[in-house]
Structure 1
Amino acid sequence: MPAHTAVLTLAGITHDRSFMVTSEEGIFRNQRRHPRLALIRPEISTDGERLTLHGPGPDPVAIDVNTSGRTRRVELFGAPFRGIDQGDEAAAWLSDALGAPSRLVRVPADHDRVTDGRTTGTSGYADSCAVHILSQSTLDLLNEQLREHGAHPTPMERFRPNIVVDGWDTPHTEDRAHRITIADTELGYAKLAIRCAVTMVDQQTGAKAGPEPLRTLATYRRAAEGGVAFSTKYAVLRPGKLSTEDEVQVISWGESEL
């Protein structure tokens, strides 16, 4: 469920992308190969000490989050990191839910990842940067294009942004908004988000529902380096608190890289 308030840290929204499902060998799992991950709904206590996993099949499982235990090697997109294993109960529940032997790890306190892009930063186990912004007008334009191609509209959840901006009338404003303030926080533009097959996974059923929206995006959002670009990644320059009532201020504009 969308949050109405959140604390933004240098690594992103508190608890966001701080856990990762892996194989028993520590290789990350995502919805491209395991679309049923979409059906798992994590619920974490405000203090981050208790995690409950809701999902298909098994009854929910609740665990005490281990934040200081021994770390193990994990791998995300081929890059080596460390993770704190969250125990056999969570592993058994995930293995049952996904139909594949799985473990759950949490990012350790000494995680020192440096993210790339025009503005560098840090993040937990996100694909890359700490903040992923998508505006409502950008999605509205895509859905207009989808209807013209005889396809169904795509919901916001397919793109998994952690901040959604309403009120930008021009689609893809986020491409050019290179320095942003929201309340007392500040974000710096890193790069465009290159989309993958996860956007074709129905987040309500956990089933692949392609070829849209990638087929339609390819008609007007092709990136020079390959793939299609849709939404924008940012680094956190100044942490703070966010709420749904906050105004987004663009303090520095740049050219779109598309």
Structure 2
Amino acid sequence: MTTGTLSGITYYPVKGCAGTALPTATLTAAGLPHDRAYAIADEKGDLRWQGGDPALALITPELTGGELTLRAPGREPVPADGKEVHAWLTDVLGAVSTLVRCPTGNAGRLHVVSRSSLDALNRRIAARDAAPVPMDRFRPNLVVDGWDVPHTEDGVARVVVGGAELAFTEATIRCAVTMVDQRTGLRSGPEPLRTLADYRRVAGGGLAFGAYFEVRRAGRVAVGDEVRGGA
């Protein structure tokens, strides 16, 4: 087995919006509780995503005591269950928007990225005299430090962390969302997709970075837990 340390836990209460970092969480068959429990739909009912609406990154959901509140720079916070939430979202995004429930949430998937994978990518980006990208461009649920070999996450069949056990399902195929600066809500490409195209192209033409896992054994995890990956 290869051993590392869990250095980050993040869930995203509203799909496409900012995430919330946690010191500890209980993983269930559904993944992280409340992850992608909500989404924002356009006037046709299609779900908005950062590739088309990068300003989603500036909306910060806050879940306290089961009550969801949305915040954005320069605006008063709004309760998700209030009648004004749709007008608030429309104003923030500049187009008709509606907050909706996602029945399946994140479909039980956990997105895992190792720090060594990001470091290897940023070394290649630096060789182009371009600025490195931060981990939040990839919006992971779990971040693992200490796996020395880059992309260990898509080369292990199972992972044991804290009281939980995870099983690999598939590599994560990256899209235009990775070119959105999560702090400004603006596109700032062509990185990291330009550099990923040099060495992470998979069958079918997609660019892989990170991996999805399902929870095989529910359990509590915490930042600082040992992460063991193996066959």
The ranges of structure 1 where at least 4 consecutive aligned residues each deviate by more than 3 angstroms after the TM superposition are: none
1:17 pairs with 2:12: no
CA distance, structure 2, for counterparts of residue 129 and residue 197 of structure 1: 23
Letter in 1 for 2:68: L
Letter in 2 for 1:32: G
CA distance, structure 2, for counterparts of residue 24 and residue 153 of structure 1: 36
User: What residue number does 2:4 align with?
Assistant: none
User: Which structure 2 residues correspond to residues 46-195 of structure 1 after superposition, within 5 A?
Assistant: 47=65, 49-64=66-81, 88-108=83-103, 111=104, 124=105, 126=106, 130-195=109-174
SS state at 1:36 partner: helix
**Percent identity between the two aligned chains:** 51
Number of residue equivalences: 212
User: What residue number does 2:209 align with?
Assistant: 230
Letter in 2 for 1:7: T
Letter in 2 for 1:92: A
User: Which structure 2 residues correspond to residues 188-203 of structure 1 after superposition, within 5 A?
Assistant: 188-203=167-182
Q: Which runs of 5+ in 1 are unaligned?
A: 65-86, 112-123, 253-258
The match for 2:189 among 181, 190, 210 is: 210
SS state at 1:223 partner: coil
Letter in 1 for 2:45: G
Bigger mean CA deviation after superposition, 135-144 or 180-189: 180-189
For the 8 Å contact 1:129–1:190, the answer to whether it is kept is no
User: Which structure 2 residues correspond to residues 35-46 of structure 1 after superposition, within 5 A?
Assistant: 35-45=54-64
Shift of 1:56: 3.0
Point out which structure has higher relative CO (alpha carbons under 8 A, 6+ apart).
2
CA distance, structure 2, for counterparts of residue 145 and residue 30 of structure 1: 28
Letter in 2 for 1:187: L
CA distance, structure 2, for counterparts of residue 104 and residue 23 of structure 1: 9
SS state at 2:120 partner: helix
Shift of 1:208: 0.6
CA distance, structure 2, for counterparts of residue 170 and residue 224 of structure 1: 22
* TM-score normalised by structure 1 residue count: 0.78
Shift of 1:167: 0.8
Shift of 1:173: 0.6
Shift of 1:129: 5.5
For the 8 Å contact 1:5–1:244, the answer to whether it is kept is yes
Letter in 2 for 1:244: V
Once the two structures are superposed, residues 3-25 of structure 1 have per-residue CA deviations (whole angstroms, 9 ceiling, x without a partner) of 11112121211111111111133
Computed over aligned residues only, the root mean square deviation of the Cα atoms, in angstroms, reads 1.5
Q: Which runs of 5+ in 2 are unaligned?
A: 1-19
Shift of 1:156: 0.2
For the 8 Å contact 1:57–1:97, the answer to whether it is kept is no
* TM-score normalised by structure 2 residue count: 0.87
CA distance, structure 2, for counterparts of residue 20 and residue 60 of structure 1: 17
SS state at 1:12 partner: coil
CA distance, structure 2, for counterparts of residue 251 and residue 219 of structure 1: 27
1:200–1:129 Cα change, 3 Å? farther
1:249 pairs with 2:228: yes
For the 8 Å contact 2:29–2:108, the answer to whether it is kept is no
SS state at 2:216 partner: strand
User: What residue number does 1:27 align with?
Assistant: 46
